[in-house]
Amino acid sequence: MGPEELAIITNPQFINATFQAGESWYHGMLARAREAQALAQRRNSFEAANAQYAIVNQQILAGARQQNEKWKAFANDLVKKHDEYAVLAKRLVDNNEAALNDEMNLKRAAMRQLAEEKARSAEKDVGIARLQNDLSGVRGSLAATQESLTYERQNVAALQAENEKLRAALSAAESDRQRLHEDNAAFLSAADHFEQKCKDLESDLERSQHALQEEEAQTLTLSQDFQNAHLVNEALSSASLSVLPLMEQTRGLWAAQGKPSMMENSLASHCRSDGQPLTVREYLWFATLMREMMAHNVPDHLVSTYCPVAHRGDFLTRPVAIQEKRPD
C-alpha cells in the first residue's frame, strides 16, 4: 500500500464518515432487532390465544352437532308415532262406520218385517176372532221386535256418539301431528342455524390460522434480517479496522518509491455499478469490505447493497490499473 492510500485511510474526514455510517447502520439494526423481539413476543401470545380459541371452537362445534342429532332423532320419532296413531284412529273410525251400517241394515230389515206383519194382520181381519190367540202371539212378537228395535236404536246412538269421539280424537291427533311437523321444521331451522354458525366459526379459525402463519413468516423474516444485520455489522467492523492499516501501508509504499499519493486517482480497471470509475480509496474500502462480508457469509444481496460495484464476480482478482492524473 502506497502513501496515497494510507493518506486516504488516515484522513479524519474519511474515518469519521466511515465510522458514522457504521454506527448509524448498527443502531438501525439494533432498533429492528428490538422490533423483531417484540413481534416474537406478540406472536407467542397470539399463538396461545389462538390455540385456546381453537379448543373452545371445537367444543362448541361438537356440542352443537350432538344436540342437532338429538333434536332430529326426537322429532322423527314423534312424527312416526303420531303417524301410526292416526292410522289406528282411522281404522277404528272405519270399523265403527261399518258397524253402524250393519245396525242400520238390521233396522231396515225389522221395519220391513213389521210392515209385513201389519199387512198380514190386515188381510186376516175377517178371521180375527179365530186367530185371536195367534194375534196375541204376533203382538207379543211385535212388542219384542219393537223392544229389539229400541235397543238397536240405542246401540246406534251409542255407536254414533263413540264415532264422534273418535272423530274428535282423530282431529286432535291431526292437530298434534301438524304441530309436531311445525316443531320439527323449527328444530331443523335451528339446526341449520347452528350448522351455519359452526361454519362461520370454522372460517374464523381458518382466518386466525392464516394470520398466525403470516405472523410466523414475518417473524422468521425479521429474525433472518436481524441475523444478516449482525453479520453485516461484524463485516463492517472488521473492514473498518482492516482498511486503515491497509491504506497507511499503501501510502507508505508510494512514499518509499518517491511517488505522490494516488488515493484520489481513478481506476481504469474497476467501476461502480453506475459505470463511474472507482478511486483508489474507494477500491481499497470496497475490496476490504467485500472480503470481510464473504468471510462472514453475508448473503449476496447485502454484499451487492454495501458494495455497489460493477462485475463483482472478479472484482477481487482483476488486476488494478490506476490512471495517472494529468497536470493542470
Identify the H or E element spanning 267: strand 266-271
Q: What is the pLDDT of residue 116?
A: 80
DSSP codes, 279-306 = EHHHHHHHHHHHHHHHHTT--HHHHHHH
Q: Are strands 277-279 and 266-271 parallel, antiparallel or unpaired?
A: antiparallel
> Does pTM top 0.75 for this prediction?
no
> Helices 132-256 and 280-295 sit at what angle, rounded to 10 degrees?
130
Please provide residue 139's backbone torsions phi and psi, each rounded to the nearest 5 degrees.
-65, -40
By CB neighbour count within 10 A (0-12 exposed, 13-18 middle, 19+ buried), where does 213 fall? exposed
Q: What is the pLDDT of residue 58?
A: 84
Residue stretches of the chain with pLDDT short of 50 = 131, 135, 138
Please provide residue 315's backbone torsions phi and psi, each rounded to the nearest 5 degrees.
-60, -40
